Structure 1
Amino acid sequence: MRVSVPGLPQAILSAQSSAQKISPSEAIIRLAEFIGKGDVAVLTGAGVSVDSGIRAYRGNDGRYMNPNYQPIFYHELIDPTEKGHLFRQRYWLRSYLGYPSVRDALPNTTHFALAALQHTSHIRRLITQNVDGLHQKALKQKAGHHWGPARLQNEVLELHGTLHRVHCRRGHAVDRDTFQDWLSATNPRWQEFSDELERTSSKPRTNPDGDVDVEHMGISYSDFVVPDCPSCSMEDHENKIHKPEVIFFGESIPQHIKHRSFIDVERCDKLLLIGTTLATYSAFRLLKHALELKKPVMLLNVGPTRADGIPGVDKIDIASGAVMREVARAIMCGVSSFLVVATNATNPRGTQAHENSIVKDMLESGIVNPPSDDR
């Protein structure tokens, strides 16, 4: 089986950017007009979570920041042979050490700006490629009594799954924190090692999927124990094959998720892409679908993307964290009056943002803590 890690074509990486260089204030007005006039669906990628301290796969040049990146593929993780067991030891040790960074990550200003726009129904459909759960965390943190599980599931679609749940080969599911406890109980030495990393703030480089690079530390996976599934044991089955509810390279997206993502695009008037290079086809085909349906498309991303040069895509080359909070404020007060209101200290910056305490809190919240280059 031949499976490759998706990337951007060399022709795109080598080409000059087609995005016109504009100021943040111009970008804010254009984005606010795009979102504020019509039913908009939003598709987010790893770039949205960078300010939360979660490293993106690719840098501003569109290339993988770790050129030696070697993910575990789906067929390797579920392989029932001894070779598959070795792959699972590698995956689960790296994920065991990396998951706490994703679990403890906090929503940033972009997450909260999008949450405010969802809460006020300016954005009705949000599709995310991210598996970190930060969009949901932003909504629950500030408006949890309005955003129960059913509404979150209806209005936030996790295209590539989530790190926060695990299931065994026979379908028994468990939340990730419980699975982390199982891993700690069967690997006390590694729990001590993980605790030491936390105490010394020596956290290894963490990818958006919670996987970490530990080879340079001279670590061997040979003594890492992947526990049996307790539910399978109660049914007299031995089963050590577990998988996070994340779509791995080489794995198909469930048909109901794929169908829902197409329906979300079909039901919107416009599509806004934020923080994504569209390197994975599961995201790129949603762009293609929107264009086939003649829907306006805007892309907010720093650096090359798979959409560069495609007619019908209006690209803004600016980081989302630099503009999205002000975009939300502009929409709340009406785009036409934004420039006047924003420069008048005696007026509130946004009618809904001023009158709605939840929205006001959202637009004053969010960390800005991007990972350093050496982490």
Structure 2
Amino acid sequence: MTSRTMTSALFGAALFALAGAARAEQPPNLPELSPTGADVCFGRVYDAAHLKAHPHQKVARIFFFYGHDPVSRPNEDPTANQDNSYNGFLTTTVRGAKKPEWASSWCHKSDPSDPSSGIGCGMDCDRSLASLKVDDKGKLLLSGLSPDVFLDPDASESMSKAEYARQQLGSEDDNFKLDPMPAETCKAEFARIDPIDPSLGDPLRARLKPDQPFCYGRDYDDAHLKSHPNQTTRSIRVFRGPIELASFAADGDKANWPDGADIAVSVTTRQKGAKVTQTYSCQGEADQWRCSASAKMSNFSCDISQKEIYLKRGANGTVMLANPNNAVAVVDLCSKAANGKTKSDDKVYRLEPMPQSACAP
């Protein structure tokens, strides 16, 4: 992160200490930002003339929302893991970008005992989002915004210098003066981040119940396989049956669903009709289930923590299964036959709902 003055550093340290203690409960209302306690919005959209006069400013649109989370909606994250402590949300759209970037924070007085003290907003990993102040005209003054606010904390090490500079904000992207706007204006701006697709329906977390079996699959005919000569899979099934249901009933927590959910994936290959079934243990992550290979149904012991697949809801009741890195395994990941070779050309499947009998062992 960029260097800051000693005053800013001390302010940030005090803020983070306060924020860490307060995250367990709903943050207090800040009447300086919202006298009534209602959600409030501040924003600004820069015209072409302003951007031409400020060539080092990348931000073309900027909005700050103080209140209830305007971004999150029902997704695959377990309900028990959802954090309601964030109360400050920033979104910016840089020149030429189609969608905004955004960050969440928790905002507090730097010194609750001093009515004249400033407001600071902290982020995870002991990072600062910005300092805030409302002027006598009701405009929000937002300062101390770091150029790498939207980048991962280790981005400077994992990216090249050129890419890091490209993804950072510009040298003039700070000290913004934002106009008060209706709360709905900010909500509409945040909705641009990830527009809802009605065809996807409910998230898998809600569609697939922890105590109910399911079966999804697809069978490929000879015509399809002839037109896809590099495809190994002839038939695939993804399911939770009696074994997986019993496992979750014994050790799972419904409040954390789908974390800890076991699923089985059976693949029948076109070579000799060989069938392989692999068990995975899943957890909700953003808009997908991230599932790591498990040794529960294998007679072998091996390190398979990095063998992962992903489940996402597809359109019209389908489920998407993917392993974009190594493709879906067509051998037992813990068998000697695997020998580290689990790659195929079968990386993404669109699976249809099927009767449970279609997924019987």
TM-score (norm 2): 0.24
Flag the structure with higher helix content. Answer: 1
TM-score (norm 1): 0.23
Identify the structure with bigger relative contact order (alpha carbons < 8 Å, sequence gap 6+).
1
Flag the structure with higher strand content. Answer: 2
Larger Rg: 2
